[in-house]
Amino acid sequence: MSVMPADAHLPVAHLRPSRNWINDPNGLAFHDGHYHVCFQYNPYGPEHANMHWGHFRSPDLISWEELPPALAPMPGGEDADGCFSGNAVSDGDRMIAFYSAFRTDRWAQPVTTAESRDNGVTWTQRGSLLIPELPDGTTMYRDPYVWREAGRWRMLVGSALADGRAAALLYESGHLEQWEYRGPFLDRAPQPVAPGADTGLGWECPQYLHADGRGAVILSAWDPELGPRRTVVYTGREQDGRFLAAAPALLDHGPDFYAPALLPAPDGRWLLWGWSWEARDPAWVREAGWAGLLTLPREVTLAEDGSVRQRPATELLALRDERAVTASGETAGTVVLGTVGPSFDLTARLEPRAAGTTGGLRLVTSADSAEYLDIKIDPAAGELVVDRDHASLDPRAHGGTYRVPCPEARAVSGAPVELRLVVDRSVAELYLPSGRTLTLRFYPTGGAPWRIEARAGGEGGLGYTVAAWNLRPYTMRYASDVSAEPALTDVSGVLR
Ligand code: FRU
């Protein structure tokens, strides 16, 4: 049943198989009482190759079961070199997956399908392409996203256009078989979205969230030379097959978040999982034998002010184990708040007492205090800064400082800075009450328990109220556990 990983960086409350490479979440659907979460998966090694769809399912987002890979490349077929990304829908008693058929001898990854009649346990791949023709002027084309709306099926496909625009192309269908092309739902030349980041020349994995006449289009910004960049979101509303959008925003402010996908839950919530890639050198990845993980499931909402807000799915509160830290007070220097295990969920309220107060929280992960991850208030910029420059004593881990807007951090705001931080061995997800998030990977070399400190710098003191809970692992039944169940007794000899 649940297996504690021997590898200190392997997460226990984030989805991924125990070995090998994964990337994008795929095929997200609620069907037969289960959340189905598939993902890009190479069952043979820790590098991006041989893309299958790995598959987990859960009735409650807490206890998971690994199913056999849903899709595998078919030798000589349209998807011979990989079953690339896409989603899935529940349609009566069947599930249908829409995905990108990859072959190295063609530039586009056209749409094909697979169908399951046994609630996702086994799948039959179509073999042929669902939509063989590509619209004129496309130079990149992949990643279908299908949803049902107003009595018809609709699909977005990610694309780049020869004139330099990125586009999410819209199709419609009555019965999921014949699809009519309606033109670009949204298209843009690259637009700036944050310092040093833009919306990209091509869009991968378009996703569409809609509620009460408003919507959000989530896009993974891609560059033909640099590859995956950042994830961006446009909010607005649809008018006759075109999405009228406001200015774009980053969906996540961290460096290690990409290709998120949506799951419309039966209770009306929109859930989202993203891919968090590695931030360590390839040689270390090869040594570890695994790469990539899926983020926590997040509830995504559209706020009145047009922003998109994310927070961990409520169900995850059930993973909180004993309370590890309870601390409140004030410091003008450094104070140790307590210790945590390597997977924990922390909430904090920080109150800088003077306009020039800096500081924040430090997670110390080595006995000599030389290894730490910092979350710092920048009162001049009105931002929180996550600094991983000292987060690993191993030089093969990547560093960098990353910023997320936090107006309360501004010197004059007078409002407390509130945050929630979920750490799971080598991944940190920071959630702010504004709905902004920052996801990054880090690779502590020191064993737990780890220390949480509050630190104040500059003038004045820092008030703090901090709580942290150690996290229980997901309950996970691996596919190998299933096949390891005792074989049925051979009774052929007695049943004559
Ligand atoms: C995004 C992506 C998709 C593609 C898949 C291949 O990370 O490049 O566009 O379908 O991954 O694994």
> Does the beta carbon of 203 lie inside 6 Å of ligand 1?
no
CA–CA separation, 31 and 100 (whole Å)? 22
Helix (H, G, I), strand (E, B) or coil at 399: coil
Parse the chain into domains and list their residue ranges. Answer: 20-312, 318-475
Q: What is the pLDDT along the chain (496 residues), one digit of tens a residue?
A: 444 458 999 999 999 999 999 999 999 999 999 999 999 999 999 999 999 999 999 999 999 999 999 999 999 999 999 999 999 999 999 999 999 999 999 999 999 999 999 999 999 999 999 999 999 999 999 999 999 999 999 999 999 999 999 999 999 999 999 999 999 999 999 999 999 999 999 999 999 999 989 999 999 999 999 999 999 999 999 999 999 999 999 999 999 999 999 999 999 999 999 999 999 999 999 999 999 999 999 999 999 988 999 999 999 999 999 999 999 999 999 999 999 999 999 999 999 998 888 999 999 999 999 999 999 999 999 999 999 999 999 999 999 999 999 999 998 888 999 999 999 999 999 999 999 999 999 999 999 999 999 999 888 899 999 999 999 999 999 887 654 444 443 333 333 2
CA–CA separation, 40 and 26 (whole Å)? 7
CB 419 within 8 A of CB 438: no
Ligand 1: nearest atom to the Cα of 99: 10
Burial of 103 (0-12, 13-18, 19+ CB in 10 A): middle
Is the pTM higher than 0.85? The answer reads: yes
For residue 476, give both structure tokens. Answer: 């996970």
Phi/psi for 9 (5° steps) reads -100, -10
> Does the beta carbon of 100 lie inside 6 Å of ligand 1?
yes
Q: How far is the CA of 258 from the centre of ligand 1 (A)?
A: 10
Burial of 223 (0-12, 13-18, 19+ CB in 10 A): middle
Ligand 1: nearest atom to the Cα of 275: 7
CB 297 within 8 A of CB 271: yes
Cis previous bond, 449, omega within 30: yes
Q: How many CA atoms lie within 13 A of 292 on its CB side?
A: 24
Residues 6+ apart with CB under 8 A from 194: 230, 250, 253
Q: What is the DSSP string of 155-202?
A: EEEEEEETTS-EEEEEEEESSSSS-EEEEEEEEES--EEETTEE--SE
Superfamily classification of domain 20-312 = Glycosyl hydrolase domain; family 43 (2.115.10.20)
For residue 297, give both structure tokens. Answer: 């499931």
Ligand 1: nearest atom to the Cα of 85: 10
Polymer length in residues for the chain: 496
CA–CA separation, 131 and 153 (whole Å)? 15
Q: How many CA atoms lie within 13 A of 15 on its CB side?
A: 34
For β-strands 475-477 and 63-71, DSSP reports them as: parallel
> Does the beta carbon of 140 lie inside 6 Å of ligand 1?
no
> Does the beta carbon of 26 lie inside 6 Å of ligand 1?
no
CB 159 within 8 A of CB 202: yes
**Chain centroid to CA 401:** 20
Q: Distance between terminal CA atoms of the chain?
A: 38
> Does the beta carbon of 463 lie inside 6 Å of ligand 1?
no
Ligand 1: nearest atom to the Cα of 51: 12
CA–CA separation, 154 and 174 (whole Å)? 9
Tabulate helix, strand, coil % of the chain (nearest 5): 5, 55, 40
Q: What is the DSSP string of 297-356?
A: PEEEEE-TTS-EEEEE-GGGGGGEEEEEEEEEEEESSEEEEEEE-SEEEEEEEEEESSTT
Ligand 1: nearest atom to the Cα of 86: 10
> Does the beta carbon of 205 lie inside 6 Å of ligand 1?
yes
CATH number, span 318-475: 2.60.120.560
> Does the beta carbon of 238 lie inside 6 Å of ligand 1?
no
Among protein residues, the one whose CA lies closest to atom 6 of ligand 1: 84
Ligand 1: nearest atom to the Cα of 40: 12
* Residue corresponding to tokens 């150690």: 470
> Does the beta carbon of 299 lie inside 6 Å of ligand 1?
no
> Does the beta carbon of 52 lie inside 6 Å of ligand 1?
no
CB 329 within 8 A of CB 335: yes
Q: How far is the CA of 220 from the centre of ligand 1 (A)?
A: 10
